[in-house]
Amino acid sequence: MKIKLIDFTIMGDERGSLIALEENHNVPFDVKRVYYIFGTKKDVRRGYHAHRDLKQLAICTSGSCKFLLDDGQNKQHIELNSPTHGLLIEGLVWREMYDFSEDCVLMVLADNYYTANDYIRDYEQFLQEVAYDS
């Protein structure tokens, strides 16, 4: 599955901590877009899609949430609960996000602008495109 956890270097001193994100350094792509998800209601599950051609790096800058990731053959659950690491997702990966804490701020960096056509929102269609891709 084309996913990876990236640990960020913390620049800490007696005042606290700081993390810098730099494109093509610790963010392994050109960053065209940043969005963040917050104020997610209890028991909400979001996502339910894959992307045809998009690299994304998801970071919980506050609180926690979980990802279900599925490449059509294997499923994996990953919890993001620290601003010190990010989840890189690329390729055809179905994702669902759930168990958002009340204070969760999920920030996502992406290598392209928002394009509705890049989304596969039907799971059967996703499986067909995975089969065609391999």
Q: What's the rounded Cα separation, in Å, for the pair 59 and 83?
A: 6
Footprint of ligand T46 on 65-94 (CB under 6 A): none
Please report the DSSP string for 45-91 in residue order: -EEEEEESS--EEEEEEES-EEEEEE-SS-EEEEEE--TTEEEEE-S
Contacts of residue 85, Cβ cutoff 8 Å, sequence gap at least 6: 5, 6, 7, 8, 59
Using the minimum distance from each CB to ligand T46, give the nearer residue, 59 or 97.
97
Q: Which of 25, 49, 51, 77 is catalytic?
A: 49
Q: Does 109 participate in binding ligand T46 (rule CB under 6 A)? A: no
The binder of ligand T46 chosen from 20, 45, 102, 114 (CB under 6 A): 114
One of 27, 63, 86, 95 touching ligand T46 (CB under 6 A) = 95
Q: How far is the CB of 25 from ligand T46 (least distance, A)?
A: 22
Q: Is 77 a catalytic residue?
A: no
Active site members: 49
